[in-house]
Amino acid sequence: MQSWPGGMSLLIEATTMKGVKLIAIGYKYNSSKVSCFIATKNAGSTLLGEPYQAQFADDCENLLSRPVDRPEIISTYFKKSNGVDKHNQAHQFELRLKKHWRMQNAWFRLVTTIIDICVTDAWKGYQYAFCLSKKDEELPVCDFADRLAYELIHTHFPKDGSSSVAKALSFNEVSIEKIP
């Protein structure tokens, strides 16, 4: 695909040893960049979808744009990919557990990543469940993590293994003090 013009794509179909049909798509969106995608067959259409708007400067430094064709499955991916980016930004740049905890051990780093993702998932779930109608009361992920840690430390579970109904506290009921 190196010599192909932008907007070209190549589709390859394969079947795994377990019989799962996959497609691989190579998509060239400008003169030098090729993106590769792998999906299960029938995950989306490979016919032309919404084109990418390529922006570039002409000889006089004027900004120009032109549509670049791409398969529909790739158009759909890029429409949804910002949601994944927001999740990653929340756990990597806002929560930043890897910045706060010293890491010399690869296993500890892996567990920290899992904790990071689980806390961010819980925060997103909390926002979805409790903050749909209260947009002005958004809770930052770091404050959510503080309150979640408090609840996990101070919740007493029965030692006899019996089931109990947990009381879901509103985060307004809990006062968290920051440790210097």
| For residue 142, pLDDT beyond 70 | yes
| For residue 150, pLDDT beyond 70 | yes
CB contact at 8 A, 68 and 52: yes
pLDDT at 176 (0 to 100): 46
pTM for this model (two decimals): 0.47
Distance CA 131, CA 134 (A): 5
Domain edges within the chain: 8-79, 96-154
**What length is written for the chain?**
180
Output 31 or 147, whichever has higher pLDDT: 147
Instruction: Tell me how many helices (H) and strands (E) the chain has.
Output: 4, 5
| Tens-digit pLDDT profile for residues 36-46 | 888 888 888 88
Contacts of 174 (CB under 8 A, 6+ apart): 147, 150, 151
pLDDT at 10 (0 to 100): 85
The residue to which tokens 């993106």 are assigned: 35
| Tens-digit pLDDT profile for residues 89-140 | 777 777 777 777 777 778 888 888 888 888 888 888 888 777 665 554 677 8
**Complete DSSP assignment for 40-107:** ETTSS--SB-SPEEEEEE-TT--EEEEEE--BHHHHHHHHHHHHHHHHHHIIIIII-HHHHS----HH
Question: Measuring CA to CA, how many Å separate 170 from each of 54, 77, 132?
Answer: 47, 36, 15
| For residue 180, pLDDT beyond 50 | no
| Tens-digit pLDDT profile for residues 57-100 | 888 888 888 888 888 888 888 887 766 667 777 777 777 777 77
